Structure formats: structure tokens, C-alpha cells
Amino acid sequence: MQMAMSSAVVQRPSVAKAFASKPSSRAVAARRANVVAQAASTQLKRADVPLELEEIGLPMNTFGPKNPFIGKIVSVETITGPKATGETCHIIIQTDKKIPFVEGQSYGVIPPGTKINSKGKEVPHGTRLYSIAATRYGDSFDGMTTSLCVRRAVYWDPEMGKEDPAKKGICSNFLCDAKPGQEITMTGPTGKVLLLPEDPNAVVICVATGTGIAPFRTFWRRMFMENIPGYKFTGAGPLARRRGFRALRGGGGPRLYDEEMAACAAAYPDQFRLDYALSREQQNVRGGKMYIQDKVEEYSDEVFDLLNNGAHIYFCGLKGMMPGILEMLERVATGKGLNYAEWFEGLKHKNQVHVEVY
């Protein structure tokens, strides 16, 4: 569910003391396997969590390039199949509650090594931002870890007929190649655009491409997988349904976090709804490839009705998705007799539209 951004005052939280117990990669894997097992049933048990993390406010830039946080890699798991167009990894990082964040924020990662800047000086690599893919309680629900969803950036040289290692993404390859126990230099957290609203009844529409699914994973885990007495999604009925959209260009291998979404959809069918746009496998109503804007348009009557009744719509992923989506919204709005410019500006004025693309 997407909601208006909170206008709470930004504050630096006091760093919580780390618990003595530290999650191992085996323990984290066991908990994730439990989620997969539950996906086959309609039962999804909510996990108990350390509720002191509900009192952290809105952390912002607790750590920066000059005073970074040093985390440790717990595990790196490839979550795309062998036939997928590219490799995406789910990376769990040990943080010991020392760099707290809230759902929808991002961390910065500074890869090791140096580069030569435009002045010919050797300097450290710059910070790369990644949307956090876990709630404040992490994959193991104890607040001791965080997670990132990272696509390995590579460059295929058509003249060489192979990947050019000199042009690969420095940070994404560092993360995807990292080993358990390896240190990782982090900054943040940062970001207010994709924060969940305070109202647990607000309708949320999630539109994602690729690793843009990361912040939405934090939403569904907080809503449906964690036992938080002070935060309980209570929406019911057609005006309180969460519809998540995600477009994947590759048709091979597993879709990102399918098991968790399947578990949520099975356990909460009236509150969690899901659909896909698979350009290599599906066609739109006009007989062309199915892109994300086509899938949203299929539900345009419901989407417009929800937005006109206060729903929030979130977009995250590649920036190339937005022109097609905006063109579709304008076309549908015009067909409904609306003044598109006024209608869309009104949504933005009420903080119902949230966009974070890269």
C-alpha cells in the first residue's frame, strides 16, 4: 500500500545497542526457507520483532562518506535463473542495529579501491545508492541485518563479442561477488520519497520494474509478515486492496521474490493483489509486447477510481518506464473527460504520486 509522505521532523536516532546474538547465513537461510514453505499454504505466520525499532523516528544521513558505517556481508544469493537476461543478487548485511532506517529508504555503498578524477588526482570511489530490500527488522526479523537487491552491471561489447570487464559496474560487481564476512562501507540511510504513510488503511498501488521491487518488498513484509502491535494494516474490501505491478523483460528463471508475494497473496487475498507484465511472454490488448504501462492500463478504471478516492501510487525502477506510463495516464484521463494536467497536478499536490527511478 502506498501512502502520502509523512511530514514528521527528521531526527537522528540514538544508536540502539546490538544484541549479543548474531545471525549466521545458515539461520537467515532457514528463515527464508520457512517463508517459501508457507507460500504453498494460505497460512502466513507473522514474526515477532524487537519493537524498540518502532521508536527510531526518521533517520537521515546518520553516516556519510567521511564517517561511514562498516557492515559485514552475511550472504549473497543469486535470485535470477540461468535463462534470465542478467544476474540479480539478494545481499544480506550484518548491521547490529547500528544504522537504523525505515521502510522506503536507501543506503549508500562505497566500493573499495580508487579512481582518477578529472583533475588527475587519485580519489576513493563515489557512493552508489541502493534501495533497501528489507524492513527495519531485516530478513531474520531481529533487526540485526539489512538487505539489498542488486543487479550485476555488465557491458556487452558487440565488436569483441563478449563482456568487457573494463566497463563493468564497479559497485554492483563488488556486491554480487562479495563473500560472507567481507566488510562493506555504507552511508545513509537517506530518502523520503517512498516512505509508507501513517494511515494503515490507505490504498497502495506499487509499480516496479526489475530491482525497483526492492522498496515494495519492505512494504509487504511490514504489512503482512511482521507482528507489530502499533502498526497493523486493517484495510478490507475493494478500496483497501494492494495491487502490485512489476515488469520483467526476462522470461527465464524465477521472478524476484515470487515466493514471498505468493505467500502474501494466498494468506491475504482481499488485501494483496498481484499482476505481472512480461514483455517476452505476453501481449497487450493491441497485439504488441506487454509493457508495464499496458498492464496498468488493463486496470485503468480501478486505478483511477482508487486514485480519485485517495490512493497512493508508487513507481520504482528504470527511468525509461515513466514516459510510457505518463502517456498512458494522459490518454486514459482524456478518455474519461478529465483535464489531465489539472488531475495529475492535484495528485502530486496531495502527495499521492511517489516516483523514484534511476
Number of H helices, E strands in the chain: 8, 17
pLDDT of res. 313? 92
339, pLDDT greater than 90: yes
> Distance (Å, rounded) from C-alpha 329 to C-alpha 294?
10
Q: Which of these, 32, 213, 47, 49, lies nearest to 133 by C-alpha position?
A: 213
Is 209 found in the same domain as 352? yes
What's the mean pLDDT in 293-304?
A: 88
Q: What's the structural domain count of the chain? A: 2
Is 7 among the domain residues?
A: no
Contact (CB, 8 A) for 243 and 300: no
Is 164 found in the same domain as 239? no
pLDDT of res. 241? 41
Is 319 found in the same domain as 210? yes
- Find out whether 6 is annotated in a ligand binding site: no
What is the per-residue pLDDT across 6-29, written as a single tens digit (0 to 9) for each? 222 222 223 332 223 345 555 555
CB within 8 Å of 14: residues ≥ 6 apart: none
Is 178 found in the same domain as 102? yes
- Strand segments, DSSP code E, in 210-292 are 226-227, 242-248, 272-278
Q: Which domain holds residue 311?
A: 204-357
- Find out whether 211 is annotated in a ligand binding site: yes
245, pLDDT greater than 80: no
CA distances from 290 to 247, 276, 287, 335 (A): 9, 9, 9, 21
Is 157 found in the same domain as 65? yes
Q: What percent of the chain has pLDDT over 90?
A: 54
Is 93 found in the same domain as 124? yes
- Find out whether 131 is annotated in a ligand binding site: yes
Is 114 found in the same domain as 239? no
At 248, the pLDDT band (50, 70, 90 cuts) reads very low
- H/E element, 144: none
CATH number of the CATH domain containing 167 = 2.40.30.10
pLDDT of res. 33? 52
What's the mean pLDDT in 256-280?
A: 84
Residue by residue, DSSP assigns 75-131 as EEEE-S-TTSSS-EEEEEEE-TTSS---TT-EEEEE-SSEEE-TTS-EEEPPPEEEE
At 30, the pLDDT band (50, 70, 90 cuts) reads low
Is 118 among the domain residues?
A: yes
pLDDT of res. 277? 77
Is 343 found in the same domain as 236? yes
- Find out whether 317 is annotated in a ligand binding site: yes
- Span between the terminal Cα atoms of the chain, in Å: 22
Is 184 among the domain residues?
A: yes
38, pLDDT greater than 70: no
Phi and psi torsions of 188, nearest 5°: 105, -160
pLDDT of res. 65? 96
Higher pLDDT, 231 or 193: 193
pLDDT of res. 287? 75
Is 231 among the domain residues?
A: yes
Higher pLDDT, 178 or 239: 178
- H/E element, 137: none
At 275, the pLDDT band (50, 70, 90 cuts) reads confident
What's the mean pLDDT in 85-94?
A: 94
- Find out whether 140 is annotated in a ligand binding site: no
Is 144 found in the same domain as 222? no
Is 19 among the domain residues?
A: no
pLDDT of res. 278? 73
Beta bridge pairs of residue 145 = 94
What is the per-residue pLDDT across 96-138, written as a single tens digit (0 to 9) for each? 999 999 999 999 999 999 999 999 999 999 999 999 999 999 9
What's the mean pLDDT in 184-188?
A: 98
What is the per-residue pLDDT across 149-170, written as a single tens digit (0 to 9) for each? 999 998 777 777 777 777 889 9
Higher pLDDT, 6 or 143: 143
Q: Where do we find the cell 527511468?
A: 319
Is 241 found in the same domain as 184? no
Is 210 found in the same domain as 130? no
Is 20 among the domain residues?
A: no
Mean pLDDT score of the chain:
82
Q: Which of these, 260, 244, 239, lies nearest to 207 by C-alpha position?
A: 244
Is 264 among the domain residues?
A: yes
Higher pLDDT, 86 or 133: 133
> Distance (Å, rounded) from C-alpha 75 to C-alpha 256?
17
Residue ending a domain, choose from 159, 190, 221: 190
Maximum Cα–Cα distance for the chain, whole Å?
A: 61
Residue ending a domain, choose from 190, 220, 241: 190
Is 348 found in the same domain as 315? yes
- Find out whether 151 is annotated in a ligand binding site: yes
- Strand segments, DSSP code E, in the chain are 47-48, 69-78, 88-94, 106-110, 114-116, 122-124, 128-131, 145-151, 156-157, 162-163, 183-190, 204-209, 226-227, 242-248, 272-278, 312-317, 353-357
- Find out whether 183 is annotated in a ligand binding site: no
206, pLDDT greater than 50: yes
What is the per-residue pLDDT across 52-73, written as a single tens digit (0 to 9) for each? 999 999 999 999 999 999 999 9
pLDDT of res. 88? 95
Residue ending a domain, choose from 190, 224, 257: 190
Q: What is the pTM of this model?
A: 0.83
Is 155 among the domain residues?
A: yes
CB within 8 Å of 356: residues ≥ 6 apart: 131, 191, 193, 194, 212, 215, 315, 316
Contact (CB, 8 A) for 291 and 279: yes
> Distance (Å, rounded) from C-alpha 148 to C-alpha 167?
22
Residue positions annotated with a catalytic role: 130-131, 316, 356, 358
- Find out whether 75 is annotated in a ligand binding site: no
CATH number of the CATH domain containing 264 = 3.40.50.80
> Distance (Å, rounded) from C-alpha 194 to C-alpha 218?
11
Q: What percent of the chain has pLDDT over 70?
A: 82
